Amino acid sequence: MTASLPPFARSAEFEPPELLQLGSAEDEPCLRADAARNRAKLLDAAARLVAEHGAAGVTMEAVAAAANVGKGTVFRRFGDRTGLLTALLDHSERKFQAAFLGGPPPLGPGAPPVERLRAFGCAMLRRAGDELELQLAAEPDAGRRHTSAPRRFQRGHVAMLLRQAVPDADSDLLAHTLMGYLDAALIHHLTRQCGMPMERLEAGWADLVARVTRTDPPAP
């Protein structure tokens, strides 16, 4: 990390997208209230299934039965099972985005970029610990894993902080690398299969950020 990297042409892929919007903006105005109520009813049913049976118990058929609607209604509203599970994560994603875009520092604006980067990763790790099963179940397929709206938004935020902290680095490529550390499947492997405590992952994130940004790690 000591030599300057060659210029890297920025791509629109790395521009942060708009805040995650899962609700349909195409409903006719007179139907929006009913559509919102139906969507909330389906999400409530899906949340109950997660609480009772885990994310594995959430199928389009099960949600339709729990909400007492036809299966076609669930498919029309969410597209597929991944869309349904992603909608369940929508609320926490919006809260998380609001926290790192406009919340108090160090996660939000007002702290140096390296401190914000450390805080971002630790917040992502803690959030994954709280909803790991649901995140894994909602993981897009390989073709969409790196292009989903939340992932692109988070990666764009990390790239922005890297550009501020290490202007001579390939911030877009490094953002992909750092986001790999925060991947839900890796967190599951390390915490559930390897038995690592979350505190170790958070310390590892702080060490990784320090090495990438060529700064001193925080005092223990």
pLDDT per residue as tens digits for the range 110-120: 999 999 999 99
Q: 121 near 112, Cβ under 8 Å?
A: no
Give the pLDDT score at 86: 82
Domains of the chain listed by start with CATH number: 23-79 (1.10.10), 81-214 (1.10.357.10)
Between 161 and 147, where is the model more confident?
Answer: 161
For 151-156, what is the mean pLDDT? 94
Residue 216 CB burial class (10 angstroms; 0-12, 13-18, ≥19): exposed
d(CA 176, CA 152): 10
d(CA 160, CA 175): 9
Joined together, the tokens standing for residue 57 give: 């118990």
60-67 and 81-102 are packed helices; what angle lies between their axes, rounded to 10 degrees? Answer: 80
Give the pLDDT score at 10: 45
Give buried/exposed letters for 181-212 (b at 16+ CB in 10 A, else e).
Answer: bbbbeebbebbeeeeeeeeebbeebbebbbeb
Question: ω before 29 within 30° of 0 (cis)?
Answer: no
Residue 16: pLDDT band with limits 50, 70, 90: very low
Report percent pLDDT > 70 for the chain.
86
For 88-96, what is the mean pLDDT? 85
In 3D, which of 95, 94, 93, 117 has the Cα closest to residue 106? 117
For 15-37, what is the mean pLDDT? 51
Q: Mind listing the pLDDT tens digit for each residue in 99-110?
A: 999 999 999 999
Would the CA dihedral through 208, 91, 196, 202 be positive or negative?
Answer: positive
Q: What is the pTM of this model?
A: 0.72
d(CA 105, CA 138): 29
Residue 77 CB burial class (10 angstroms; 0-12, 13-18, ≥19): buried
Residue 138 CB burial class (10 angstroms; 0-12, 13-18, ≥19): buried
Give the pLDDT score at 186: 95
d(CA 135, CA 85): 8
